């Protein structure tokens, strides 16, 4: 599925928005523990804010250590229960297909909740909600293909392997694409027979909570899926160091991922980390510029730049640098920022006041470093956390705005003359999540793709994704992969069995 194109014609029936708003406003949201929706043990709640208006949307249960402990205990009990551990892979497939159908039927509602809660433009949240259902359907197909093997040995011996669930999985998801990232973790965990405790970001928890309600309609045994909302330093850290959790799957910043990895050492829990990026997008002189430039702008502005694989360092050959820079600036300036439900809106707000201030500090840093700002650079003078697409030229790879992940619609354009420089400098970052390259020469395409140090490479496209395509990064962009066959290995353990006759 591609997330690269502009809708520009997304029409939202305003009456359709009322149902999700009614659900959002229908009292404080609870925790899901052992099949029941319950308040936090402390009774505390936290506010979730509408990034388009800065108004309070809803109250969420503020979970803490004691709530994590209860959720883990429920997941441990469910893991050993015959109604889950004893079922066939065919039954697990039926559960996942039923969930996929439920998500598909409620896709518009889930998309609208995502747009309201974190400001995701409606054209993008619609695509995200569609892929949410596809994710469960993809993993439903895996349940009957998770197999061990028999191994060659002598005639008086028999050796075989089994693939078994890791156990209780903890999933910690971020605020940028909360619905889809929850699906990325829940679906493979369930496909492999695990149980799971999910902690969504306190900034954007609502779509995950509604997803959990829908999953409950599939009648999974109690405790197979649990959701604990709350803050990272309490809920997230408790999950990362909890001795009853056998695996952590974390998506978020590199700094928090490092702390999660350190915390996991207590019981040597398995860890999957999908962390930050500072991805290069390299435009060669033989590129189809009309395609390349439109995709390049989409690559750093979709979801208001809040995508870990955003192509925020655009490398352009010196022969076409001036033309490309001006055209990128012009296309960026034409991307409308505003009401995320607007028919012609491409960028909504960034997700929070804290993040908005952080982004503006990076724009200031770019100006202070002497970069030339071709367009943007402003926060809109209206309620909400709206920031214009911003393009800097005259940037070298050692500058702060070229080295640190901004996570916003802020782009740097860097010149190169020889392919080797683009490859070396494109890989000269602490991260290695993704990269894009735009050549017509097939030999150059394969040579550069092989040389770049990144986990996902796009050639003559940018930002597309598919459940069959592994996602994850080199270096400080993380450990392990989500999607594809690699994700099944991440949620299973291999047991070897030997029989001597």
Instruction: Give the active site residues.
Output: 274, 308
Is the distance from CB of 387 to CB of 360 less than 8 angstroms? Answer: yes
User: Helices then strands (H, E): number in the chain?
Assistant: 17, 22
- DSSP at 92: H
What is the phi/psi pair of residue 77, to 5°? -65, -45
Is the distance from CB of 406 to CB of 425 less than 8 angstroms? Answer: no
* Radius of gyration of the chain from its Cα atoms, rounded to whole angstroms: 23
Three-class SS string for 112-147? HHHHHHHCCCHHHHHHHHHHHHHHHHHHHCCHHHCC
With CA atoms as reference, report the closest residue to 380 among 433, 420, 414, 340.
Answer: 340
Beta-carbon contacts of residue 381 (< 8 Å; ≥ 6 apart): none
What is the phi/psi pair of residue 419, to 5°? -55, -40
237: number of CA atoms within 13 Å, CB side? 8
With CA atoms as reference, report the closest residue to 490 among 238, 194, 199, 236.
Answer: 194
Beta-carbon contacts of residue 185 (< 8 Å; ≥ 6 apart): 169, 171, 173, 196, 198, 249, 251, 482
Give the SS3 label for residue 150: strand
First CA to last CA across the chain, in angstroms? 52
The size of the chain, in residues, is: 501
Q: Count CB-CB contacts under 10 A for residue 450.
A: 9
Give kind and range of the element (H or E) at residue 448.
helix 442-451
Is the distance from CB of 461 to CB of 311 less than 8 angstroms? Answer: no
Give the SS3 label for residue 236: helix
Is the distance from CB of 338 to CB of 417 less than 8 angstroms? Answer: no
What is the phi/psi pair of residue 426, to 5°? -60, -35
């Amino acid at each position: 599925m591609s997330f690269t194109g502009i809708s520009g014609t997304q029409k939202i029936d305003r009456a359709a928005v009322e149902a999700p708003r009614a659900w959002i406003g229908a009292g404080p949201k609870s925790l899901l523990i052992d099949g029941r929706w319950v308040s936090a043990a402390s009774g505390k709640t936290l506010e979730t804010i509408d990034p388009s208006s800065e108004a309070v949307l809803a109250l969420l249960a503020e979970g803490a250590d004691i709530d994590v402990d209860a959720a883990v205990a429920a997941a441990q009990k469910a893991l050993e229960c015959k109604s889950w551990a004893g079922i066939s892979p065919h039954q697990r497939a039926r559960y996942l297909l039923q969930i996929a159908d439920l998500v598909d039927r409620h896709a518009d509602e889930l998309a609208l909740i995502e747009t309201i809660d974190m400001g995701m433009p409606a054209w993008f949240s619609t695509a995200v909600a569609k892929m949410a259902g596809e994710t469960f359907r993809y993993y439903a197909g895996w349940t009957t293909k998770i197999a061990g093997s028999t191994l060659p040995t002598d005639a008086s011996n028999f050796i075989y392997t089994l693939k078994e669930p890791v156990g209780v999985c903890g999933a910690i998801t971020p605020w940028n694409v909360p619905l889809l990232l929850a699906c990325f973790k829940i679906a493979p965990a369930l496909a492999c027979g695990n149980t799971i405790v999910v902690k969504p970001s306190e900034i954007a928890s609502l779509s995950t909570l509604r997803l959990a309600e829908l999953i409950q309609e599939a009648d999974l045994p109690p405790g197979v899926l649990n959701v604990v909302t709350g803050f990272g330093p309490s809920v997230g850290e408790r999950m990362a160091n909890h001795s009853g959790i056998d695996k952590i799957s974390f998506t978020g910043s590199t700094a928090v991922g490092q702390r999660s990895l350190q915390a996991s050492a207590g019981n040597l829990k398995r860890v999957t980390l999908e962390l930050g990026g500072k991805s290069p997008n390299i435009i060669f002189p033989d590129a189809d510029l009309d395609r390349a430039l439109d995709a390049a702008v989409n690559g750093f502005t979709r979801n208001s730049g809040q995508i870990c694989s955003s192509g925020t360092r655009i490398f352009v050959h010196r022969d076409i640098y001036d033309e490309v820079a001006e055209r990128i600036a012009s296309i960026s300036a034409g991307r409308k920022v505003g009401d995320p439900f607007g028919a012609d809106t491409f960028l909504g707000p960034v997700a929070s006041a804290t993040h908005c201030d952080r982004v503006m500090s990076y724009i200031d840093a770019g100006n202070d470093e002497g970069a030339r700002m071709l367009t943007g650079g402003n926060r809109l003078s209206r309620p909400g956390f709206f920031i214009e697409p911003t393009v800097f030229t005259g940037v070298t790879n050692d500058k702060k705005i070229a080295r640190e992940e901004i996570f916003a619609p802020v782009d740097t354009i860097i010149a190169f003359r020889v392919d080797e420089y683009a490859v070396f400098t494109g890989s000269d970052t602490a991260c290695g999540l993704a990269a894009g390259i735009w050549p017509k020469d097939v030999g150059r395409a394969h040579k550069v793709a092989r040389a770049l140090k990144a986990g996902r490479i796009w050639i003559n496209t940018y930002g597309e994704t598919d459940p069959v395509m592994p996602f994850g990064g080199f270096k400080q962009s993380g450990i392990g992969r989500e999607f594809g066959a690699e994700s099944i290995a991440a949620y299973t353990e291999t047991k070897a069995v030997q029989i001597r006759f």
